[in-house]
Structures are given as C-alpha cells and as structure tokens.
Amino acid sequence: MRRDSKKRRRINLWNTDPHCYWCGVKTALPPDGISSRGDIPDDEATIDHLRTKFDPSRLDPNHSNEERTVLSCRKCNWERGRESEQEAGIEELRRRSQFTPKKKRKTNDVSKA
C-alpha cells in the first residue's frame, strides 16, 4: 500500500471512530498523518489487519466486502503481531515467508608458500 493511501485510510478510519478496535482507547493521529520511526506513543492510531500476515486466507479475494482493516492503537497492534509470531514459531514463519537460511560457505584452507 502506498504511503499516501495508507495515510488517507488511517484518517478515514479515525474520522469514522477514533477508538482502538481492540481496547477502546481513544487514539491520536500523528501530526502529519504518517508515523515517524522514532518514539511512537502507545495511543497512536495504526491500521491493523484483522487477518495476520501469516494467515494464508488474507490473500483470498474479498467477495463479501468484509472489513479487513481496523483502527488500532500502536500498543494493541504491536501486541497482536508479537502473539502471531510467537504462536507460529520461527520455523513456521520461515516456511510461510519462504525464508531459506544461508548456506555456510566452505573455506579453502590453502597455505601460502
């Protein structure tokens, strides 16, 4: 999703209901509508996907027009992401992302004369 469309989506969700979908706290929009990479307050509004990135059905077509994203505070969004990662386990996460560990390089032990 492009940065400007993410900004619009967050603002639209916030204008509909500024409260976190999970805990109900009133969220705050970042000053420019986009999160900074620095210290982010726990109540900052974020876009949260109802289906985690590890859920294969997330990529299915949305024929029923169900809502797939909600407004969430940063704290709830982060905690849900951590839970998903912990539930799946590292090997499952690697399998789903098609991560392949780097093979160890063979070193040639060639003595210099």
Which residue type sits at 102?
Answer: K
Structure confidence by residue, pLDDT tens digits, 60-79:
888 788 788 899 999 999 88
What pLDDT is attached to residue 63?
79
CA distance linking residue 90 with residue 94, whole number of Å: 6
What pLDDT is attached to residue 19?
96
Structure confidence by residue, pLDDT tens digits, 30-57:
877 556 566 778 999 999 988 877 677 7
pTM of the full structure: 0.65
Domain boundaries, the chain: 3-97
CA distance linking residue 76 with residue 96, whole number of Å: 23
**Which one-letter DSSP state was computed for residue 80?**
H
What pLDDT is attached to residue 88?
66
Which residue type sits at 87?
Answer: E
